[in-house]
């Protein structure tokens, strides 16, 4: 074998002296995660013999040497080409290195010059039992240093320059059950940097692909590791809501993966958080409840999400149960407040409601507001307001104007009084009309709460007046109904006489079993 060293198919003659240095790559725990090899070639170029002589084209002496120097630089300008070092006729080393540096020796450089080339490779391949010709074509050589590398599921080496793995446990005091009062947020972080690896055909594996493979091989929930980090027993706990976030930088050759779980009571299908607040507005109290229900997703032993029902399905099923409990929750808080007079009663009909469904996030959110106002007379009314104005009359007198009288008109007592009256004003907001406009009067009136107001408010009040007084006259009955906005107003006025005025006190007049 005349020339034991070649690069990119070019034999280096005379053969340079060659040294190999292996440097381990360690993590923070000083464990091997890989290695790099530094190959140093120290050789000599001769102006009239050796490498590149066949292309001199008549160049001699200094010009010939300069030509060879430039050709050497041109040869090693390309990274990741095949480098072969033949140890003997049947054994050789091969790699596909990065060219770190080329140094040309100092001096006159007329007939000879020295050079030093530094190569760096993530692996060195070793081949035995082949002739030089067969060895140069062989691509099935095995790495003699496989124990220094991580491998993938196929046994192929993963060439890493850095790798890290961490677990983080965060306790959350949510008080979901008496036996298991805590939930935990678990975070698993993986990050690696890889080295590009080449073969004769070109790139074999990019650095970020090795980094990704290392991270992917280690992802997933590990109950043993989690148990080692907790001071509480994990009996009866299940990991829910697996979320994975990845980041890749192809240029830098890095890949990172972060996954999180929530560790909670195994019997749970949802988690609900809500707040109940109470405030006073004038002569009434307002109580509101604001909450969110989130469905929980479990995984099989192989990390596959449970497909029997989605997180939203579970949240919705729980909402159908919770919805019937909202008034009880609010009323319990309201009645437990010792600063509120016990005569106040929380109306079981919500003042207003808001419900939001998020199928992607698997949540149902709600806001319900209650107050201590009396119950509505009109079913389905959004709001209802009834006011009563009483005019108890006054002394009747005559005012006679006298010309030139400085004190004004002469006032004369008529020994009687003005009429007594009561007026009820009703304002109701109904759900707005959303259908096709009707061209007839009956269609336009439909949806009006008139009949309910008449039966539940107007007629009982008129009956109470007729019971208390000998003469009762309905002197006005005006209403306004806007079908498209849902606004309804009505004003009714009565005048009366011939009874005991005391019987007209608000506490004695009633309708529909209630007091006005």
Runs of H (alpha helix) within 428-480: 441-445, 450-453, 459-468
* Mean pLDDT (whole number) for 481-495: 90
- Residue ending a domain, among 265, 295, 322, is 265
Give 447 or 194, the one with higher predicted confidence: 194
Distance, in Å, from the CA atom of 113 to the CA atom of 380, rounded to the nearest integer, reads: 101
What is the reported pLDDT for 323?
95
Given the structure tokens 């034999």, which residue do they identify? 11
Give 9 or 175, the one with higher predicted confidence: 9
What is the residue-averaged pLDDT of the chain? Answer: 82
pLDDT-derived band at 421, boundaries 50, 70, 90: very high
Given the structure tokens 């005048």, which residue do they identify? 495
**Domains: count for the chain:** 4
Look at residue 457 and tell me if it is in a domain.
yes
Whether residues 387 and 494 fall in one domain: yes
Among residues 351, 389, 370, the alpha carbon closest in space to that of 516 is found at: 389
Distance, in Å, from the CA atom of 448 to the CA atom of 278, rounded to the nearest integer, reads: 34
Given the structure tokens 């890095």, which residue do they identify? 254
Among residues 136, 46, 30, 48, the alpha carbon closest in space to that of 91 is found at: 136
What is the reported pLDDT for 472?
93
DSSP class per residue in 314-332: HHHHHHHHHGGGHHHHHHH
For residues 69 and 109, the answer to whether their CB atoms sit within 8 Å is yes
In this predicted structure, the answer to whether residue 509 has a pLDDT above a threshold of 80 is no
Whether residues 138 and 9 fall in one domain: yes
Look at residue 413 and tell me if it is in a domain.
no
Whether residues 163 and 240 fall in one domain: yes
DSSP class per residue in 125-143: EEE-S--HHHHHH----EE
Nearest 10 degrees: CA dihedral of 72, 74, 78, 80? -20
Among residues 417, 494, 433, the alpha carbon closest in space to that of 458 is found at: 494
Ranges assigned E (strand) in 250-408:
254-265, 270-281, 284-295, 352-358, 363-371, 383-391, 395-400
Please write the tens of the pLDDT for every residue from 106-125. Answer: 877 778 899 999 999 988 88
pLDDT-derived band at 486, boundaries 50, 70, 90: confident
Look at residue 453 and tell me if it is in a domain.
yes
Residues forming beta bridges with residue 401, ordered by sequence position? none
Whether residues 46 and 11 fall in one domain: yes
Distance, in Å, from the CA atom of 312 to the CA atom of 241, rounded to the nearest integer, reads: 12
For residues 492 and 483, the answer to whether their CB atoms sit within 8 Å is no
What is the reported pLDDT for 174?
60
Look at residue 126 and tell me if it is in a domain.
yes
Peptide bond into 342 cis (omega under 30): no
For residues 245 and 257, the answer to whether their CB atoms sit within 8 Å is yes
What is the reported pLDDT for 73?
94
For residues 281 and 372, the answer to whether their CB atoms sit within 8 Å is no
Task: Tell me which of 114-123, 126-135, 142-151, 391-400 is least confident.
Answer: 126-135
Give 259 or 30, the one with higher predicted confidence: 259
Whether residues 19 and 135 fall in one domain: yes
Please write the tens of the pLDDT for every residue from 3-47. Answer: 589 999 899 999 999 888 888 888 777 777 878 889 999 999 998
CATH of the domain at 25: 2.40.30
Whether residues 160 and 261 fall in one domain: yes
Look at residue 376 and tell me if it is in a domain.
no
CATH of the domain at 504: 3.30.1360
Whether residues 308 and 334 fall in one domain: yes
Look at residue 292 and tell me if it is in a domain.
yes
Question: Collapsing DSSP states into helix, strand and coil, what is residue 410?
Answer: strand
What is the reported pLDDT for 233?
61
Among residues 119, 69, 73, 124, the alpha carbon closest in space to that of 94 is found at: 124
- Residue ending a domain, among 143, 178, 203, is 143
What is the reported pLDDT for 506?
45
- Residue ending a domain, among 265, 300, 325, is 265
Q: DSSP label at 306?
A: P
pLDDT-derived band at 307, boundaries 50, 70, 90: low
Please write the tens of the pLDDT for every residue from 185-202. Answer: 889 999 999 988 887 778
What is the reported pLDDT for 137?
41
Whether residues 192 and 261 fall in one domain: yes
Residues of the chain above pLDDT 90, percent: 35
Domain span at 298: 270-371
């Amino acid at each position: 074998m005349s020339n034991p060293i070649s690069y990119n198919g070019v034999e280096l003659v005379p053969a340079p002296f060659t040294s190999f240095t292996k440097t381990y790559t360690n993590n923070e725990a000083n464990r091997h995660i890989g290695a790099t090899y530094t190959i140093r070639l120290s050789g000599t170029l001769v102006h009239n013999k050796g490498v590149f002589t066949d292309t001199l084209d008549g160049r001699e002496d200094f010009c010939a040497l300069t030509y060879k120097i430039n050709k050497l630089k041109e040869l090693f300008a390309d990274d990741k080409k095949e480098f072969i070092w033949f140890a003997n006729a049947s054994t050789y080393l091969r790699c596909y290195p990065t060219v770190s540096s080329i140094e040309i020796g100092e001096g006159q450089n007329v007939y000879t010059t020295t050079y030093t080339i530094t190569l760096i490779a993530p692996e060195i391949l070793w081949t035995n039992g082949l002739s030089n010709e067969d060895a140069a074509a062989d691509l099935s050589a095995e790495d003699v240093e496989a124990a220094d590398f991580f491998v993938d599921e196929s046994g192929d080496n993963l060439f890493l320059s850095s790798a890290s793995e961490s677990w983080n446990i965060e306790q959350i005091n949510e008080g979901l059950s008496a036996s298991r009062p805590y939930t935990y947020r678990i975070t698993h972080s993986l990050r690696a940097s890889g080295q590009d690896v080449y073969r004769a055909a070109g790139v074999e594996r990019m650095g970020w692909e090795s980094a990704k493979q290392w991270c992917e091989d280690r992802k997933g929930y590990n109950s043993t590791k989690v148990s080692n980090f907790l001071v509480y027993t994990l009996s009866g706990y299940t990991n829910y809501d697996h979320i994975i976030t990845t980041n890749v930088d192809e240029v830098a050759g890095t890949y990172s993966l972060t996954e999180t779980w929530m560790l909670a009571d195994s019997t749970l299908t949802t988690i609900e958080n809500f707040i109940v607040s109470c405030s006073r507005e004038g002569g009434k109290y307002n109580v509101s409840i604001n909450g969110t229900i989130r469905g929980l997703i479990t995984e099989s032993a192989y990390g596959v999400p449970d497909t029997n029902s989605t997180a939203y399905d579970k949240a919705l099923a729980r909402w159908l149960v919770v919805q019937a409990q909202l008034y009880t929750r609010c009323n319990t808080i309201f009645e437990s407040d010792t600063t509120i007079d016990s005569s106040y009663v929380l109306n079981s009909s919500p003042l207003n409601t808001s419900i939001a469904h998020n199928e992607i996030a698997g949540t149902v959110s709600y806001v319900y507001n209650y107050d201590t106002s009396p119950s509505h007379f009109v079913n389905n009314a959004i709001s209802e307001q009834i006011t009563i104005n009483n005019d108890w009359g006054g002394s009747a007198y005559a005012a006679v104007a006298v010309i030139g009288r400085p004190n004004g008109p002469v006032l004369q007592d008529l020994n009687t009084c003005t009429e007594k009256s009561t007026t009820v004003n009703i304002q109701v907001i109904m759900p707005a009309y959303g259908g096709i406009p009707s061209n007839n009067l009956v269609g336009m009136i439909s949806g009006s709460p008139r009949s309910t107001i008449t039966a539940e408010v107007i007629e009982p009040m008129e009956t109470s007046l007729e019971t208390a007084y000998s003469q009762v006259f309905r002197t006005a009955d005006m209403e306004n109904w806007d079908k498209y906005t849902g606004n309804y107003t009505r004003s009714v006025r009565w005048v009366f006489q011939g009874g005991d005025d005391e019987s007209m006190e608000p506490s004695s007049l009633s309708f529909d079993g209630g007091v006005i």
